Homo-oligomer: A and B are copies of this chain.
Amino acid sequence: MAAAPSQTILFIILLHIFYIFVPSHQYHPLDSLTPSEFSQIRSIVTKAYPESSTHKLTFQYVGLEEPSKQTVISWLKNETTTNPPRQAFVIARIDHQTHELIVDLSLQEIASKRIYSGYGYPMFTFEDQENADKLAFTYPPFVASIRRRGLKLEEVVCESFSVGWYGAEEEEGKNKKRIVKVMCYYMNGTVNLFMRPIEGISMTVDLDEMKIIGFQDRVTVPVPKADETEFRESKIKPPFRQSLKAITVVQPDGPSFTIDGHMISFDVRAGMIISLASIYDLEKQQSRRVLYKGHVSEMFVPYMDLTEEWQRRTFFDAGEYGYGLCSMTLEPLRDCPPNAVFMDAYFSKQDGMPRKIPKAFCIFERYAGDIMWRHTEATIPGKTVREVRQDVSLVVRTVSTFGNYDYVNDWEFKQSGSIKVTVGLTGMVQVRGTTYTHKDHMEEDVYGTLVAENSIAIHHDHFLTYRLDLDVDGDANSFVRSKLRTTRVNDRRSSRKSYWTVDSKTAKTESDARIKLGSEPAELLFVNPNKKTKMGNLIGYRLIPEGVTGALLSSDDHPQIRAAFTNYNVWVTAYNKSEKWAGGLYADQSHGDDTLAVWSNRNRSIENKDIVLWYTLGFHHVPYQEDFPVMPTLNGGFELRPSNFFESNPVLKVKQPKEEYSP
């Protein structure tokens, strides 16, 4: 079992947290695949598709094929005595074809198989990228181009860029290939390579053949000197800021939670998955369901640069690069506070063997000095009453680094039942090399901000689309949009001429539930139409967005067709187990024919049904010099907050933690 202090249970979130591979642990149908399961899957598949010189097999995706929701719920309720079958979903490339396999681990066989022949390709593996990046170094035209620039080959680092789809002839029909563009950086003695792009050179690599099929050295641009871009404390030159005095979080009796379950799991594409988040209702003396499953479904990061080597930079990071594959090891005491507990994660390498990401998750109780609730009652003559409760919550964190950018992903579970999701953007912004050294020299649109000499940080967006399979107190939910509407008062005896009222409408079909935020004030509720509070209010949870960032690309632009899931901030769809990835199962070079927007266009009924909320959190990023050479974290997020879910404030009866610290 994963390392865990054995304390009493706690927290209103049922802390079913995360086993990874414990042969002896109690089975749970939503457990992440274990290393031994990855190995078994590999054996089963390689036996069925033996490799040979003409028969190349690569595992592009291996993840849990989860049992149906009804199966899981029945199992949880102990209505079935047998465990649901343990299955994996595998996407393999075999001889230039995409194979979808369901591998049954109980029966040790391939339960189903299918060749996919539609648009788009599966996620890149690390090996896809590493091998593609290496090709350049033995490719004479590239070597010559580097030499011609007076650069040292051993200081060059290359990276694979997805190419998207732009409607060109070679991208259609039989000529289409699984390709990436390889472009390179110059380290020049430091590790901050992203500040030293080598502009003008790009190579096209066929990933299935693993060879360079195109090369262009279009233009020579000075590699930015990028002085003062070193970010390692051990290498930075003085002066330093004076260090702060130590500050730390202490839990003398250990954490209040136990690691004893399955609430957190890991998927190489989605990264962290939160499952079966339930809340213990003190009044009802039972656990009540809130979120069946929540995770990042896709992330769309288009750059706004029309330069030849830049215009196709419209990344679908989850579907192309893997939000889980890019999960990074967390550093104790820095990435997470001293009271954090860490968990490893595993994924399948290209050859099917398991690979570990040590400390991929951290879990900690958070006390930021905030107040959960308070009141000073000063109205009663001669008496002052003051009651305050500290806000202590539980945070689960991962970090995903996509080349230059780092995303800090927090799911925070508050004692009040609120679930706050925050993403913090940090790391390096993408910089284009340029001849400019001062803004006054620039007469054209440079597509970004001159952040240093010869360095333009390019305008871009980040859209994170979350799939939130809410099951508020049960499967059957409805989506209610309560618009706040100014109402005119026509009664002349009234002092008032206006007030606002709440105009609640239940979405009947998917088209009723597409919302661009910012236009009209509204409460966005997931309710259980079959359950009411004692007062007769529908049991619900509401989405509280923190920003209102929407898509800016034209809807007919190819990247936007593929990212049509960002056309609205909020969508609600009928539950469909296969609709997980907002940009489609095959996001790389997709044509946008399998997006959330396409599914929603079926306009299914969503009233009193098992439904799914999709929320897109966006950032338009205009870089500033402060973002160079590493960006201070910029946060965005949203909250899911109980709204007539409880009969009253569920944290009224929370006592202050027993031991208070006397300073």
Contact = CB atoms under 8 A, between A and B. Distances in A.
A426 B652 CA distance: 12
A369 B337 contact: yes
A554 B374 CA distance: 33
11 contacts: A240-B654, A245-B253, A247-B339, A335-B388, A375-B426, A437-B535, A497-B557, A498-B552, A548-B548, A625-B648, A626-B649
Interface residues of A, number: 188
Interface stretch (A33-41, A398-406, A593-601): A398-406
A438 B246 CA distance: 55
A307 B37 CA distance: 66
Given A247-B657, A335-B371, A661-B338, A537 B652 contact: no
Interface string A464-506: 0000000000000000001010101101001111111110000
| Residue from A253, A364, A391, A552 whose CB has the most chain B CB atoms within 10 Å | A552
A373 B334 CA distance: 10
A550 B522 CA distance: 12
B535 A380 contact: no
Nearest to A499: B304
Given A438-B535, A521-B552, A650-B626, A364 B372 contact: no
Given A535-B451, A535-B453, A648-B228, A486 B552 contact: yes
A459 B502 contact: yes
A217 interface: no
Given A130-B381, A250-B247, A557-B498, A12 B241 contact: yes
The number of times this chain is found in the oligomer is: 2
A657 B250 contact: no
A242 interface: yes
Interface stretch (A16-24, A61-69, A145-153, A439-447): A439-447
B241 A654 contact: yes
A376 interface: yes
A370 B424 contact: yes
Nearest to A540: B624
B240 A246 contact: no
Contact of A427 (B159, B239, B375, B632): B375
A333 B386 CA distance: 13
A160 to B, nearest CB: 10
A631 B650 CA distance: 10
B250 A250 contact: yes
Nearest to A312: B495
A249 B367 contact: yes
Interface in A622-661: 622, 624-633, 641-661
A228 B652 CA distance: 9
A424 B484 CA distance: 22
A231 interface: yes
Contact of A449 (B245, B537, B625, B629): B537
A620 interface: yes
Contacts of A631: 373, 649
A660 B333 contact: yes
